[in-house]
């Protein structure tokens, strides 16, 4: 899924992932002029936090349960959004942290969540692995479902009392 963000200098709606500079309705229709377009990425969104349910687990008290979420953009960028965490998210530039709530981050940048600093390239690597595992699991589940559908056999009771596959002759009485 290729994402194209034209002007990421505006607000990002957490509910519908609309990037724009005005308020909009829940359906994504603008109530004013927008400078970018709606992004649909719910299944590609990854969460970071200390909660075991987070996609990327950071067991550190200064990191909120669900601290932030992000999506991969191309091969070396992420679209990152802090989820109103207690200790905030910071982009570390020249050893000076700058607070961010949403930002497009490159792989060579450093991110701080609470007291934890991480390179964006490390988040990208973990996210790629997680997405690949998720895709493989979904493909396996689909294969399992097809196999179950294919193996479904209707069984019926024969006149002699034994159970047989519907449409076949009974191995006991031959009917």
Q: pLDDT tens digits for 65-77?
A: 999 999 988 888 8
Whole-number Å distance between alpha carbons of 125 and 172: 61
User: Which SS3 state, helix, strand or coil, does residue 38 take?
Assistant: strand
Q: What is the pTM of this model?
A: 0.58
- Which residues are paired to 79 by β-bridges? 71, 104
> What is the model's pLDDT at position 151?
65
Yes or no: say if 44 and 71 are a contact pair by the CB < 8 Å rule. yes
Yes or no: say if 135 and 90 are a contact pair by the CB < 8 Å rule. no
Question: DSSP state, 33?
Answer: -
Yes or no: say if 77 and 104 are a contact pair by the CB < 8 Å rule. yes
Mean pLDDT of 146-156: 74
pLDDT digits (tens, 9 = 90+) for 74-90: 888 899 999 999 999 99
174 or 42, greater pLDDT: 174
Mean pLDDT of 24-34: 45
pLDDT at residue 142 greater than cutoff 60:
yes
E-state strands within the chain: 11-12, 19-20, 46-49, 56-57, 68-73, 77-82, 89-93, 96-100, 102-106, 110-113, 116-119, 155-157, 163-165
> What is the model's pLDDT at position 75?
83
Whole-number Å distance between alpha carbons of 82 and 172: 69
12 or 54, greater pLDDT: 54
């Amino acid at each position: 899924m290729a994402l194209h963000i034209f002007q990421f200098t505006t607000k990002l709606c957490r509910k519908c992932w609309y990037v724009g500079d005005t308020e909009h309705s829940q359906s994504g229709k603008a109530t004013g002029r927008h400078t970018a377009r709606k992004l649909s990425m719910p299944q590609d969104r990854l969460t970071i936090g200390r909660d075991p349910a987070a996609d990327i687990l950071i067991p550190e008290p200064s990191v909120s349960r669900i601290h932030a979420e992000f999506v991969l953009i191309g091969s070396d960028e992420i679209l990152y959004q802090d989820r109103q965490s207690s200790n905030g998210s910071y982009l570390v530039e020249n050893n000076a942290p700058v607070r961010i709530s949403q930002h497009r981050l490159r792989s060579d940048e450093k991110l701080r969540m609470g007291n934890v600093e991480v390179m964006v390239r490390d988040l990208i690597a973990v996210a790629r692995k997680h997405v690949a595992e998720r895709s493989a699991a979904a493909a396996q589940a689909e294969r399992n479902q097809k196999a179950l559908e294919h193996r479904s056999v209707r069984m019926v009771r024969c006149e002699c009392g034994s159970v047989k596959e519907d449409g076949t002759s009974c191995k006991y009485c031959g009917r």
